[in-house]
DNA sequence: GACGGCATGTAACCAGTTACATGATTAT
DNA sequence: ATAATCATGTAACTGGTTACATGCCGTC
């Protein structure tokens, strides 16, 4: 159910349409909580019913009309309540690649190794994206406070995660190469 | 759909009952692919229908009967096929704590900080568990090959992940303390 | 007598993914 | 022409969680 709260946070930062929210979930927020536009529209509908957000239809020139959502007082209260509540314990990580590595000897180890290398590239790409954002938006993080500090810290989490994945893929690739050489 | 394949890997290592599998998913395999007993029973049923595993009813003294599952030839072939197939791109991480940090200013930052500390402890605990396993089962990893190497590498992934989470929680806690001191 | 371990399941629900569906405007 | 961007949604399916349900054995 965190999606609703992620949307509340995003709408508190700035009101917007479902489409705009979907864009944001492709970027900033989406780096640690992904959501497709279908999910977002469904959630917004529910949130209107719950009275957490209000919705204004806005006519635009040269563009389709859009519905701009903003957080209501009761939505803001609900967000504050949720923030004070303990978060669910981090769920077991589900890592498909780990399953393949663990089972590698029941198939073609070389193919699994190729997958490890491919994932290494993916993680390195994301790491580069996060680091570029860090350089651009937080060149000097020492003085950060409040919301920009919070944004920065979340970004740091993404960087740490991707870096650990890259390192792990490297370790795995090295070990598999050494074990089944050619 | 990886659960079915995680079960195949586990049953290749050793045949067993649904209950035993559930135990294993609480331990080794479960460190990177969690599954409840309900899920496991459901999957086993499906896998019998697909012909990937066979099932023998075994009567036990002083214990309830159990059904021992083992991988069939067609299951082994299916596993090898899946291993050669590219894995899905790592999905967007969904991290509830990040959502709370990002939104902290819309609620009580102190409460969010407490949550960060709690998660720090959880991750440190899991890290300690993994490191204990590493010490016990892989005191000298240099010569590892084949299946034990693969097991070791997966464990290393867990260690790297938990360590990066602990480090991140520390960074976040330090920054939040400095920002809203008391 | 209560609790924990062994052993198996069903049912309802919730969240997320994939596929389908529409339609205008702007840029190549 | 065709693709990309803006803009909104529905429907079916899949996978995972939570709650419920049963029953035996051994130990404290």
pLDDT at B15 over 80: yes
Of B56, B84, B112, the residue that ends a domain is B84
Residues A9 and A41 in one domain: yes
Instruction: Give pLDDT, residue A60.
Output: 79
Per-residue pLDDT reduced to its tens digit, B75-101: 999 999 999 999 988 887 889 999 999
B124 in a domain, yes or no?
Answer: yes
The structure tokens listed for B114 are: 């407490």
Name the nt closest to B43 by C-alpha to C1': D15
Distance between A57 CA and the closest CA of chain B, angstroms: 26
Matching residue, tokens 């072939």: B77
Contact call for B149 and A175, based on CB within 8 A: yes
Instruction: Give pLDDT, residue A127.
Output: 95
Instruction: Give pLDDT, residue A38.
Output: 96
A67 in a domain, yes or no?
Answer: yes
Check whether residue B94 has its CB closer than 7 Å to nucleic acid strand D: no
Helix (H, G, I), strand (E, B) or coil at B71: strand
Residues A60 and A12 in one domain: yes
DSSP 8-state secondary structure symbol assigned to residue B59:
-
Residues B9 and B36 in one domain: yes
Contact call for A103 and B32, based on CB within 8 A: no
Residues B141 and B77 in one domain: no
Residues B135 and B172 in one domain: yes
Instruction: Give pLDDT, residue A3.
Output: 96
Average pLDDT in the B16-40 region?
92
CATH number at residue B25: 1.10.10.10
Contact call for B2 and A99, based on CB within 8 A: yes
Residues A36 and A71 in one domain: yes
Residues B39 and B60 in one domain: yes
Residues A77 and A36 in one domain: yes
B91 in a domain, yes or no?
Answer: no
Helix (H, G, I), strand (E, B) or coil at A53: strand
Instruction: Give pLDDT, residue A90.
Output: 83
Average pLDDT in the B142-153 region?
96
Among the partner-chain residues B96, B105, B151, the one whose CB lies closest to the CB of A147 is B105
Question: Which DSSP string do the residues of B9-26 spell out, in sequence order?
Answer: HHHHH--B-HHHHHHHHH
Neighbours of A163 (CB within 10 A): 17
Instruction: Give pLDDT, residue A62.
Output: 73
pLDDT at B64 over 90: no
Per-residue pLDDT reduced to its tens digit, A168-182: 999 999 999 999 865
B90 in a domain, yes or no?
Answer: no
The mean pLDDT of chain B is 94
- In 3-state terms chain B splits into helix, strand, coil percentages (rounded to 5) of 70, 5, 25
pLDDT at B182 over 70: no
- Find, among A107, A127, A109, the residue nearest to A167 by Cα: A127
A61 in a domain, yes or no?
Answer: yes
Phi, psi values for residue B4, rounded to 5°? -55, -40
- Highest mean pLDDT of the ranges A33-37, A60-64, B27-31, B51-55: B51-55
Residues A7 and A78 in one domain: yes
Instruction: Give pLDDT, residue A182.
Output: 58
A13 in a domain, yes or no?
Answer: yes
Residues B104 and B66 in one domain: no
DSSP 8-state secondary structure symbol assigned to residue A72:
-
List chain B residues with CB under 8 Å of A93: 32, 158, 161
Say what the pTM is. Answer: 0.94
Neighbours of B169 (CB within 10 A): 22
Instruction: Give pLDDT, residue A18.
Output: 96
Per-residue pLDDT of chain A (182 residues; tens, 9 = 90+): 799 999 999 999 999 999 999 999 988 888 889 899 999 999 999 999 999 999 999 887 777 789 999 999 999 999 999 999 999 888 878 899 999 999 999 999 999 999 999 999 999 999 999 999 999 999 999 999 999 999 999 999 999 999 999 999 999 999 999 998 65
Residues A78 and A9 in one domain: yes
A90 in a domain, yes or no?
Answer: no
Report the run of H or E that residue A177 belongs to, with start and end: helix A146-179
Q: What is the number of structural domains in chain B?
A: 2
A91 in a domain, yes or no?
Answer: no
pLDDT at B17 over 90: yes
Among the partner-chain residues A32, A118, A151, the one whose CB lies closest to the CB of B95 is A32
> Searching chain B, which residue's CA lies closest to the CA of residue A114?
B86
Domain that holds residue A154: 96-179
Instruction: Give pLDDT, residue B31.
Output: 82
Average pLDDT in the B41-60 region?
94
Of A64, A84, A104, the residue that ends a domain is A84
Sign of CA dihedral B100, B105, B110, B113: positive
Return the beta strands (E) in B51-131 as ranges: 53-58, 66-71
Of B30, B52, B84, the residue that ends a domain is B84
Residues A172 and A133 in one domain: yes
């Amino acid at each position: 159910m965190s999606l609703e709260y992620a949307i509340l946070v995003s709408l508190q930062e700035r009101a917007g349409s479902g489409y705009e929210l979907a864009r944001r979930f492709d970027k900033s927020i989406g780096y640690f909580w992904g959501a497709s536009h279908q999910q977002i529209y469904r959630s917004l509908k529910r949130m209107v019913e719950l009275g957490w957000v209000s919705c204004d239809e806005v006519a635009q020139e040269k563009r389709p009309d859009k519905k701009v959502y903003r957080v209501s007082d009761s939505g803001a209260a609900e967000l504050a309540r949720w923030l004070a509540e303990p978060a669910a314990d981090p769920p077991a990580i589900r890592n498909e690649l780990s399953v393949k590595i663990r089972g590698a000897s029941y198939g073609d180890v070389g193919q699994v190794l190729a997958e490890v290398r491919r994932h290494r590239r993916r993680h390195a790409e994301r790491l580069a994206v996060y680091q570029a954002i860090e350089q651009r938006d937080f060149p000097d993080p020492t003085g950060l406070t409040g919301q920009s500090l919070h944004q920065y810290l979340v970004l740091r989490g993404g960087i740490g995660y991707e870096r650990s994945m890259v390192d792990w893929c490297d370790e795995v690739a090295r070990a598999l190469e050494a074990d089944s050489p050619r």
